[in-house]
């Protein structure tokens, strides 16, 4: 099967009597990202096409327990590791803001299902408190980090 990105897979199937059930594996080693399933009825008939879904709704939300900043507090010019647990594969943006709202650092990553670690290398930050905004799949989370001399 392999991994495909940004493409479309097409598998013509003929069903004569009975039903067809389509499933997707989802676990630590599998990562389905399905945007659509199209069902085409080849001939006009009175046959019933019924679609059922067991896809979880709203599982891409981040919670406070899903994101950790290490170390915190951090020293000037020290690497910051963002640990993130994600339920979907997504493009994730990490932005750092000073308390007056100025953007001081930004980086993007692709996060995958499960545990992710992203390394940030913000330079020349003054000692103080900063807000770290993590944005993924339309969801935002703010965390606080302290920078020491």
Instruction: Answer whether 0.75 is exceeded by the pTM.
Output: no
Per-residue confidence (pLDDT) for residue 69, from 0 to 100? 95
Question: Largest Cα–Cα distance of the chain, in whole Å?
Answer: 75
Q: Hey, what domains does the chain have and what are their CATH numbers?
A: 64-148 (2.60.40.1930)
CA 149/CA 140 separation, integer angstroms: 29
pLDDT tens for the chain, 149 residues long, are: 444 555 556 667 777 666 666 665 544 444 455 545 556 666 555 555 554 544 444 444 565 558 899 999 999 999 999 999 888 889 999 999 999 999 999 999 999 988 999 999 988 899 999 999 999 887 889 999 999 98
């Amino acid at each position: 099967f392999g991994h495909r990105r940004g493409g479309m897979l097409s598998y013509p199937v003929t069903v004569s009597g009975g039903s067809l059930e389509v499933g997707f594996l989802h676990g630590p080693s599998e990562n389905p990202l399905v945007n659509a399933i199209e069902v085409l009825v080849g001939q006009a008939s009175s046959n019933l096409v019924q679609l059922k879904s067991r896809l979880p709704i709203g599982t891409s939300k981040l919670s406070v327990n899903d994101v950790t900043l290490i170390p915190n507090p951090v020293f000037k010019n020290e690497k910051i590791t963002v640990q993130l647990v994600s339920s979907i594969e997504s493009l994730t943006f990490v932005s750092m803001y000073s308390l007056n709202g100025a953007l001081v650092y930004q980086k993007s990553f692709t996060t995958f299902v499960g545990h992710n670690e992203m390394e940030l290398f913000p330079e020349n930050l003054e000692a103080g408190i900063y807000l770290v905004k993590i944005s993924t799949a339309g969801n935002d989370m703010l965390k606080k980090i302290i920078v020491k001399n």
